[in-house]
Structures are given as structure tokens and as C-alpha cells.
Amino acid sequence: MATTSSQPKLRLRDVSKHFIAPRTGMRTLAVANVTLDIESGEFVCVVGPSGCGKSTVLNLIAGLDTPTGGTVEKDGQKITGPGADRGVMFQDYALMPWQSVADNVGFGLRHGTPGKPYTPAQREERIRQHIELVGLSGSEHKYPHQLSGGMRQRVALARLLANGPDVLLLDEPLGALDAQTRLILQVELLRIWGETQPREQRKTAVFITHDIEEAVFLADRVVVMSSHPGRVREILPIELPRPRDESIRGDARFGHYVEAIWNLIRDEARRAIAAA
């Protein structure tokens, strides 16, 4: 979708990344020639067969890794490392088991979000707001082991949001959850991203998944990658109305999008299974 601002939120230009195995010196080209602009407020899903470089791309945007070639920019500035402006979430909850829900959510605040010093009272308020946002009010003093998988991912999401990022980088965040919890959290995630808000108030989200239906349900655009090396195969705009709820899955267009994406990755997915 076109926006009035000339500058994309994220800009990847001819990005490549290779890894060199420390002992053998063997080189793996994980991604090659990835060029992609992501607009502010856009929800982009990335799908593709296992090993096609999805996590590599996300880690480059997160600044957890540096590209071997090309450039990765946010707001026109080269990304040089991790920052609180980009919140990252993975499939495993990465919560601190010895800390309560509230302490987990406040973790980044206690350790000082750069440029945003919070007084203790502000910090408490920010923790409360974000626990409420993810629907966990009343569970502040519980510990991760007392929570279901879905609740733990809500805590991880609250922690990420409490740091005030404008970009959400989500690497299969719902991948470990049961199917029902997953469907519920997809809807919640859209609400939290800002689906009911005007576009300027939405965060920018990059969401990796291997679940095609999940990608279509969530995304403004789906980036389909292919592997060896990882490349952008095709980018599909998903022109389904928002806000979306479960009923959208019955829309004929929904089925067409899922089929189109599956057609793009099916052969490669089959080959990967055969090779395994």
C-alpha cells in the first residue's frame, strides 16, 4: 500500500549473508540479493521452506548480525547493532524463570531503555499498562512455570512492547503453541499491533512463520522466500479488509491467497522432505 512518506521504515538493499564454519572453513550462503522495502505501519509476513534464511533476515534487521553484502536501514539510517527501537521475539519464550511476570515485563526498563529513563513510579505504571494490554492483569506475581505457553508468549510480547519499539521482529512467535491458542493470539496480536488504529499509529511488524494461513491472516504483504541461497521469490499483497477476525478465513479470497503461496513453496518443501 502506498504511503505519503517517501522513506520506508525498513530498507534492505541487495542484502547477502554468508556464514563460515569455524573449523572446516566451509561457506554457507544463507541469503543472497534480498531487496525489500517495508513501510511504516505495515505488517509483513515472511514464509518459505525451512533453512531459506528467514531468521537470518530477521537477525540482520535486529542488528544481531551484520550483512556480508548490501545494506539494511531503518528510517534511512544504517543498522549497526541491536536497539530498543526494534523489539525481537522468538518461538521460545526467553523469560527469566526466577522472575515474576511483572519483573520479566519490566526487565528492559530496569536496565535502562536508552534515551528513556523511567522513574520507579513510571516504570511500575508502564509494567501495569503492558500486562493489561496483553490480557494478563491479575497474573503479575506469577512465575513463568505457573503459566501456559500462550500466557508466556503474552508476557514476552508485553516485555517487548514495554521498551517502546516502533518495529516488531517476530520469529515464529506462536510456533510452539497449540492450534487453538495460536488462533486466539493471532487476533490479539493484530489488536496490539494497532489494527484498529489509523495506520500512522501502527507499529511496523515483520513476522516469520511457516504457517501459510497464519501469514495470510496477519499480513498486509507476504514475502515468499526460496532457498539455497535464500532469496525473495515473490511478494504478495493481501488485500483483505481490517480489522480481521475468524470469519475472514471463510472468505474466498483467503483461500486463494493460501493456495497461491502454497503453489510457490510446495515443490521446494517436498524436495526438502525428500532430502532429509
Ligand X SMILES: Nc1ncnc2c1ncn2[C@@H]1O[C@H](COP(=O)(O)OP(=O)(O)O)[C@@H](O)[C@H]1O
Residue 134 is placed in which grid cell? 496483553
Give the integer Cα–Cα distance in Å for 154 and 144: 11
Residues 224-263 that bind ligand X (CB under 6 A): 230
SS3 state of residue 18: strand
Residues 55-94 that bind ligand X (CB under 6 A): 55-56
The yes or no reply on residue 53 touching ligand X (CB under 6 A) is yes
Q: How many Cβ atoms sit within 10 Å of the Cβ of residue 127?
A: 24
The yes or no reply on residue 19 touching ligand X (CB under 6 A) is yes
Nearer to ligand X, 90 or 254 (CB): 90
Omega into 237 within 30° of 0, i.e. cis?
no
- Nearest approach in angstroms of CB 30 to ligand X is 3
Q: Which residues bind Mg ion (CB under 5 A)?
A: 54-55
Kindly tell me the sign of the dihedral angle through the C-alpha atoms of 81, 83, 86, 89. positive
Nearer to ligand X, 53 or 108 (CB): 53
The yes or no reply on residue 164 touching ligand X (CB under 6 A) is no
- Nearest approach in angstroms of CB 199 to Mg ion is 28
Give the integer Cα–Cα distance in Å for 153 and 148: 9
Stretch of 50-58, 136-144, 150-158, 238-246 contacting ligand X, by CB under 6 A: 50-58
- Nearest approach in angstroms of CB 254 to ligand X is 24
Nearer to ligand X, 19 or 98 (CB): 19
Pairing type for strands 167-171 and 86-89 reads parallel
The yes or no reply on residue 30 touching ligand X (CB under 6 A) is yes
Q: Which of 3, 28, 68, 91 binds ligand X (CB under 6 A)?
A: 28
- Nearest approach in angstroms of CB 31 to Mg ion is 12
Give the integer Cα–Cα distance in Å for 154 and 160: 10
28 binds, among Mg ion, ligand X, none (CB under 5 to 8 A by kind): ligand X
Give the integer Cα–Cα distance in Å for 261 and 37: 20
- The torsion defined by the Cα of 35, 41, 42 and 43, in degrees rounded to 10, comes to 120
Give the integer Cα–Cα distance in Å for 90 and 172: 6
- Nearest approach in angstroms of CB 235 to ligand X is 16
Give the integer Cα–Cα distance in Å for 206 and 234: 16
- Nearest approach in angstroms of CB 54 to Mg ion is 5
The yes or no reply on residue 175 touching ligand X (CB under 6 A) is no
Residue 222 near residue 48, CB atoms below 8 Å: no
Residues that bind ligand X (CB under 6 A): 19, 28, 30, 48, 50-56, 230
